[in-house]
Structure formats: C-alpha cells, structure tokens
Structure 1
Amino acid sequence: MDRFLQTLMDAIAVGSLYALIALGYTMVYGILKFINFAHSDVFVLGAWLSFVGAGIAGLDPAREASIGPWVFWVLAALWAAAGIAAVYELVLRPALSRRLDRRLPAPRWHLNLSLVAAWGSIAVGVLHLAKGAASAGFGFAAGGIILLLAMMVCGLTGFCIERLTYKPLRRAPRLNVLITAIGVSLLLQNIGQLNWMFGTRPDRMPTLLPEAELFTIGTAVRVRLVDVMVVGTAVVLMVVLDWLVFRTKIGRAMRAVSFSPPNASLMGINVDRVISFTFVLGAMLAAAAGFLFSQKYPGLNQTAASGWVLLGLKAFVAAVIGGIGNIRGAMLGGLLIGLLEFFVAQYLPDGASLRDIFVFGALIVVLLFKPSGVLGKSATEKV
C-alpha cells in the first residue's frame, strides 16, 4: 500500500506539470489549428531562466551572476524606438497628412515596441525585487518572485514569437506554418546553447524550497514540501486558467476565435490581440512548469538532450489524448500520462525502460479508436 501511495503522489505531481505544458499546445491548436513545436523549448527556457534568476538574486551560493549591461542597452533602444514612433504618430504624421492633403498610414509596430520595452523593464524590476527578498532572508518569497519572473520573460518570448514568425503567415498554407514552428524550435535550442546564454554543459538548479517532509502516510510514504508546492501551484494555475477561459470576457473572445476567426472579427473581436494573448498565456504556463519541474528534478540540460525532448513530446501526447483544443482535456490528459508512466515504471518488470513505449502506445490506441481524444468532440467539415 505504501508503494502504491508513493507512486500515486509522484504521478500526480509530474502529471500536473505535463498538464501545464499541454495547455499551451491545446490553446494554440484550438485557435490556429496548428501545433506550436517551439512550445517545449519555452518550457526549457523557463527552467533555465529560473536558474539564472536564482544566481542573480544570490540564492545559489555556487554561482553568482549579475544583469549584463546589454540588457539595459536593449531596453534603452526599445524605449527610444518606441518614443520616436510615438512622436511620429502624435506630431509628425498629422502635420505631414495636412501638408500632403492625404492620410499617411499609421505605424503598426510602435505599440508592440512600447509593450515589449515596458514588459522587459518590469521583469528587470521584479528581478531586483527577488534579489532584495533574498538578501533580507526571505528565500521562499524570492523563489515565488523568480517564478513570476520566468513567467514574464517567457510570456514576452511567446509574444515575440507570435508577432515575428506566426502572424506574417496567418493566411499561408498550414505546411508553411508547421515548417516555421520547427525552425523556431531549432532556433531557440541553438540560441540557448551559446556560451553567452546558458551554454552546453548540464547544471543543477538551486533548491529554492526547504528540503522538508510535511508528514508521513503509513510507514514509508513521505509527503515532501516540494511535491505539495508543485501540485498546489499547478492546480491553482489550472483553476485560474479555467476561470479565465470560461468566465471572463477575454475567455469568451478566445472561444469565439477558436470557433470561427472570421465570425469573431465580424462581432468586433480583435482576432490578432486574442491570438497574441493566447501565445503569451501558453508560454507563461510552460515557464511555470519549467520552474516547478526544476525544483522537483534539479538537474538541468539543454533542449537537445533526449530527456527534455521527451518531456515536450509527452506533454503533446497528453494534449492529444485529452482532446487537442480542449482546455480541460489537456488537464486530464496530463494526469493520465503521469499515472500511466509512473505505474508502468513501478509495477511492470523492467518498467523503467518501457514507460515511454506505453505512453506513445497509448497515443496510438487513442488515435485509432477515438481520434478526437477523451474529452474532444468530433467535428464535421462541409465541403
């Protein structure tokens, strides 16, 4: 019985992380009907950003880091470009339009620059807040601030990916978008392996949560603080997402765009903003999963390592099994994959080497007998 309960606890913890990653896949597919293969790389980015943030905040005694001056130069350049665009929009464009007796086109990028600059500046401020909390002895609070920082930076990354790579291909054939997604994934992998980023050697995430056992179930089932925090944080994020999608105005807009982007546009919904918001939201959830995963399993590797690739693929499998495009289906699929993986590894002979076979075998079975997934609905297309 103790063995069963310990396996169940580990399965729920990892399954909840699979669910967080799967939500990004399923939200993007639900709106744009394509798979964002760069999503798993954003998950790894969240883990590495947490590692770097912990070093800058002084939470990692073995490695102290600082914010490079290039960060401030980039932010200054963004603010300068946004200021020039604002001057053109508010002063020069109206004057030139009157002089030339025709309306000049408005720049579409000045708001994006302002948003990126503001978001980046807030992220730097949050990092300094984490450093102050760590120096004051509030390491636990600093860990939560670093989680927020990773979510903010990955959200900004998701916004830039959507605006720079996917938005220009909105009306392109789906194969073009798919190839672009693979290209973005490879780009993120190779940028992350540069020496001035994260490098190629493995590292270890510092422990931001105390190594404490809260209580013991039975005789040998240890309930650790890190497991409770992983499951609790993941559940809170999933509940907030469910409320956001099904109980708020932006959630109704997301569901309308998912149903029919042209009809949503006719109803006054800004489709581009909804799509960008979806990418940001999915990237932030992936970053949270990366932070939590690095706390439970502190060993960090780059995306090219087989273990990280499999994590992203298993999260995609969870989204498909639960019903790709279905928010609650992704949550259920993540838990199912976690349970299947851990119980196979625990109870079958040589199960540790067979766990991945069973996960992808479950995907094949679901695609054969219920291609829409457990909670997905079959859609008929009129030709």
Structure 2
Amino acid sequence: MEFLSYLISGISLGSIYAIIALGYTMVYGIAKMLNFAHGDVIMIGGYISLIAMTSLGVNGVVATLLAMVVCTVLGILIEGLAYKPLRGAPSLAVLITAIGVSYFLQNAALQIWGANPRVYPSVAPDTWKLFDGQLSIPYVSLMTVAACIVIMIALTLFTSKTKMGKAMRACSEDKGAAQLMGIDVNRTISMTFAIGSALAAIAGVLLCSYNSTLMPTTGSMPGIKAFTAAVFGGIGSIPGAFLGGLLLGIIEAMAKAYISMQLANSIVFAVLIIVLLVRPAGLLGKYVPEKV
C-alpha cells in the first residue's frame, strides 16, 4: 500500500508539473523563448486565489477563475511591456529580461504580502479511503490529475482545430511566412502568453493546495522543475510536456520515499541529463536541423 500511496502522490505532483510545463512549452513552441517568469505568475495566482477565499469568502472554483483572469491580464502585460520590444533581439537579451521579470514579481510579492509563509486552504480537503482505510487518496490529487488530462486534451484540440490554434502552429513553424499569409504574429504571441498564464493560475491553486503553504518564492523551484519536465518530454510538444511532468513527479516521489529527501532533486536532474544524452530532443521531441 505504501508504494501505491507514493505512486499516487507522484502522479498528483507530476500532474502539477505537467500543467506548468504546458505553459512553458506553449510559449517556447510559438515565441521560441523561455519565460522564466512563468513560475512567479504561478505564485501570483496562488496569492490571488488565497485572498479570494479568505477575504472575499468565495469557494475554490470562483477563486481559481478569478486567479485565471488576473494572471491572464498579467501575462499579456508582461509580454507587451517586457518581451514584445525585444522581438528581434538576441535570445540572450530575452533570457536576461525574463530573469529580471521573475525577480521583479518576487520582490513585488514580498513588498505586498510579506516574506512569512501563509497557510493555504485546500480546495478539496476531503479524502477517498480504499481497502478499509489502508489507502487514502486526497480529492485534490484526483482533481489535479483530472484537470491535467482535460487541459492537455483541450490544448491539443485547440491547436489542431481552431483558427487561432492553427495560427499558433504557423507562427511556430515560420513567423515571417505566417505574417505574409496575413496572420497577426503579435496578437498570436500575446494569446499564447494569455493561455500560458491562465494555466499558471490553475497550477498555482493546485500546487498551493498540495503543499498547503504559500510565499513569494513558492513558484521558483516548481517552475524550474516544470521547465525540466518540458525538456524531458520534448519542449514544444504538448504530449511531451504531459509525459515529462508525470514522469518527473513519479521519479521525485519515489526518490524521496526510497532514497533520500535531500537527494531527490539531484536525482531528478540526473535523470534528465541521462535522458538528454540518449535523446537530445527529449522523449517525444523531434530533432530539427538548423538551417544556415
């Protein structure tokens, strides 16, 4: 039963990583940039939902929707103010800007809400007991896995069936050609950031429910791990982000349970290195030779 309990915990944690990784992979796939402020948007979503539940007295669903709205607007503002002026700049300049935005959001949260950790109420506090109570599955874990699967399916259908989704795929292939075909590249990239930030809000609520705490640095390490998951599965691939997140969560949970709590993060990144040595494009990624 212990193994099954650790496995369920790993799948739940991996589903959170997968939702965050889907936001990373959407932005990278279309804009070809790594938005390292994504983890801090998760933290903002956590604070907005916490304030909504504790101060406004709304339930978890309404709090999540409110966090999604705020984070969507925040994502569009970040893209428009920080990244859009650097559209033609070298990738290093964009990367440094992303790190700067990350630190700005962390320090803004520090000034507004303080450094002390806050207790985050679970959006689904009950548990489902199986085998005469020997196995307990938190409802929030079931909700997290279900949300991850629904989001992945919805994103896959969105990118393959809708006009905006096809525009995103066209921009991913060749922005110049897409613009010549009448696609508004700037609007498409802004929409990508909006979707990624909305996913960050959902991930923030689920992550804080899983950890039960919230502070200005809450999104930093999960953001890095989710980026690792996106690379692990094949960055730019929606199924790859889903698979990478699940595997990363399971590896982390098993490492903490059977090897060492202190070495769990090292083991996770060591597995990533091994996978990339064998498959440089990730598990589901495709190697595309660069044209010169």
Q: TM-score range by the shorter chain?
A: over 0.9
Q: Is the 8 A contact 2:122 2:140 kept in 1?
A: no
Whole-Å Cα distance in 2 between the matches of residues 218 and 22 of structure 1?
36
Out of 275, 279, 284, the residue aligned to residue 193 of structure 2 is: 279
In structure 2, the residue matched to 1:185 is 102
In structure 1, the residue matched to 2:209 is 295
Out of 175, 186, 197, the residue aligned to residue 92 of structure 2 is: 175
Offset, 1:219? 5.5
User: How many residues are aligned here?
Assistant: 292
Whole-Å Cα distance in 1 between the matches of residues 40 and 98 of structure 2?
11
In structure 1, the residue matched to 2:142 is 228
Alignment of 1:234-313 (within 5 A): 234-303=148-217, 308-313=219-224
Whole-Å Cα distance in 1 between the matches of residues 179 and 172 of structure 2?
12
In structure 1, the residue matched to 2:232 is 321
Whole-Å Cα distance in 1 between the matches of residues 51 and 281 of structure 2?
40
In structure 2, the residue matched to 1:99 is none
TM-score normalised by L of structure 1: 0.74
In structure 1, the residue matched to 2:287 is 378
Which residues of structure 1 form unaligned runs of 5+? 59-129, 131-141
In structure 1, the residue matched to 2:19 is 20
Out of 184, 187, 202, the residue aligned to residue 117 of structure 2 is: 202
Whole-Å Cα distance in 1 between the matches of residues 168 and 132 of structure 2?
46
1:340 matches 2:262: no
Alignment of 1:29-108 (within 5 A): 29-58=28-57
User: Aligned pair in 2 of structure 1 residues 207, 329: CA closer, same or farther (>3 Å)?
Assistant: closer
Q: Which amino acid aligns with 1:223?
A: I
Q: Is the 8 A contact 2:120 2:213 kept in 1?
A: yes
Whole-Å Cα distance in 2 between the matches of residues 206 and 214 of structure 1?
18
In structure 2, the residue matched to 1:366 is 275
Whole-Å Cα distance in 1 between the matches of residues 209 and 283 of structure 2?
30
Higher CA-based Rg? 1
Deviation string 1:197-221 (CA, Å, 9 cap, x unpaired) is: 2211111112432x32223146611
SS of 2:136's equivalent in the other structure is strand
Q: Which amino acid aligns with 2:79?
A: E
Whole-Å Cα distance in 1 between the matches of residues 135 and 76 of structure 2?
42
Deviation string 1:239-261 (CA, Å, 9 cap, x unpaired) is: 21222112222111111100000
Whole-Å Cα distance in 2 between the matches of residues 207 and 379 of structure 1?
43
TM-score normalised by L of structure 2: 0.96
SS of 1:215's equivalent in the other structure is strand
Q: Calculate the aligned-residue CA RMSD, in Å.
A: 1.4
Q: Which amino acid aligns with 1:171?
A: G
Offset, 1:347? 2.1
User: Aligned pair in 2 of structure 1 residues 28, 208: CA closer, same or farther (>3 Å)?
Assistant: closer
Moved over 6 A (4+): none
Residue identity over aligned pairs, in percent, reads: 46
